[in-house]
Amino acid sequence: MSRIRELFSDSLVYGLSSVAARFINYLLVPFYTKFFTPAEYGVVGLIYAAIVFLNVIFLFGMESSYIRYANSQKGKQSTVFTTIQLSLLIAATILAGLLYWGGAPYLMPLMSLEGDYGLQLFAMMLSIVWLDTLCIVPYAHLRIIRKAWLYAVIKLVNVIINVGLNLYLVIVLGWGIEAILVSNIIASAAAVLLLLLFTLPMYKSRPDLAILKTALIFGLPYVPNGIGFAINEVLDRFFLNQMTPEQILAVYQVPWSPEEITGIYNACYKLAVFMLLIIQMFRLAWQPFFMRYGFEKDSPELFASVFFYFNLFCCGVFLTVGIFAESIAAIPVPLLDGTIIDERYWPGLHIVPVLLLAYWFQGWFINFSSGIFIKEKTIKFPLITFIGVIFTISGNIFLVPVAGMMGSAIATLACYAIMSIFALYYALQVFPIRYPLLRVSTLMLISVLIVYFGNILPFVFISELTTRLVLYFSGLLLIALFYYFYKKN
């Protein structure tokens, strides 16, 4: 139990930084939806979707390689650090140049970018990716040496600079969406400098080509896996942006543009960030944790317990956001004279419970992947991700034209659900663990039913709020009962 508390402690620190950072960053959602039209916000969503793809390509799996080999190379941690960091710097610079000089004419139309202004935004996007690449190994190093609070502080400084500049550039100077990218560039540059300051001693060693070769062999399988995750995470924006006016009118009976549909979807997607926070804080602490304890005799029992407690937290978030999504979106923001999500974007709120459930399954995948990682069977990840990609692409192709935003959300849910199943299948072959799957699946199913009825019940005899509160506290009681009987057994 002490090791679970250790994981919880590290997750809490990473979580507090992520929650605080995401919360501060989330304050920009009411700001963006207030000052930018759905069409403008749609373009922003497409740019940041492209950044997700490019981050994977620029990193070529080196974050996972560093976590894997920094601990195992006794006395050579600084050599591993220098080798990987220098390789990323060189590769990122070359890739950014190639994309700017050769890729812009082909990539800009996918993000609805046109003319000189669009080219400026494209260059800013590449600058963000380049700076983010230089941050990844130093951040991973802080996680390995358990400098969680320092990690948290740098993350918060990054977000505070980003938010402050957004507000200043848009409200005071009256800039357009370029303000979002400029703010991100300056905030990322500040993070690079802070990380350089605190990891400067790690640059004392000379690069080692043998280490680079080993790191590439281990890390490169993560590239198709990462691209697959990017496809599963953000490709839906590009499918929505390709809807025809006739399809949009048939689905919504409103003559929105494709960029407006993308913007509405992108804003409502942000409510699912609360589940993503749980997944993110867990992932950051989970990777170093299972590498520390994965080779101990009782690790299967330990990992099974972690899986159960993880699902209790996810259930709480799913119930809270799934039942009260409309109420959360309508929370007033006095200083902006608006709400958490502007009323123009509310037609997309029905996708929120589906996306919350999709992220919950993504958490299952992260849990199950530990055995594959420990046994160095990472070659399985591209296959699992490829299966998910098939579901994502085919789901969007067939569902978006007839169901719009809900089609993309369902495709995302199907993708992560099937990926978690295949991850479990391969993990059990190399690292058998008796996960409490029946209990957790029952917990998930009942939670889904509670949220479903909370959103479709006719509020005739009692008020809408009262009905949802009754269902919500019934769900919390369910979590308590599952915890009690798990501990009892």
From its phi and psi, is residue 435 left (phi > 0), alpha (psi between -120 and 50) or beta? beta
pLDDT at position 21 is 59
For residue 482, pLDDT over 90 is answered with: no
For residue 410, pLDDT over 90 is answered with: yes
Question: What are 248-278's pLDDT values in tens digits?
Answer: 999 999 889 998 999 999 888 888 878 887 7
Question: What are 66-117's pLDDT values in tens digits?
Answer: 777 776 656 677 777 888 888 889 989 999 999 999 888 889 888 888 888 9
For residue 62, pLDDT over 80 is answered with: no
Name the β-bridge partners of 333.
Answer: 338
Question: What are 273-332's pLDDT values in tens digits?
Answer: 788 877 877 887 777 777 676 667 767 788 888 888 899 989 999 999 998 888 888 888
User: Picking from 98-107, 410-419, 473-482, which range would have the lowest pLDDT averaged per residue?
Assistant: 473-482
Q: Which two tokens stand for residue 247?
A: 């399809």
For residue 459, pLDDT over 70 is answered with: no
The domain ranges of the chain are 1-38+222-489, 61-219
For residue 8, pLDDT over 70 is answered with: no
68 CB-contact burial (10 Å; exposed 0-12 / middle 13-18 / buried 19+): buried
Question: What are 324-370's pLDDT values in tens digits?
Answer: 888 888 888 777 777 888 888 988 899 999 999 999 999 999 888 88
pLDDT at position 74 is 60
Residues 37-59: what's their mean pLDDT?
A: 89
For residue 2, pLDDT over 80 is answered with: no
The whole model's pTM is what? 0.80
Question: What are 108-153's pLDDT values in tens digits?
Answer: 888 888 888 999 999 999 999 999 999 888 888 887 776 767 887 8
* Phi/psi of residue 338, nearest 5 degrees: -150, -160
C-alpha torsion sign, points 394, 400, 403, 409: positive
Q: Is 158:188 a contact under the CB 8 Å cutoff?
A: yes
Rounded alpha-carbon distances, angstroms, from residue 416 to 135, 162, 232: 28, 31, 8
Residues 383-388: what's their mean pLDDT?
A: 88
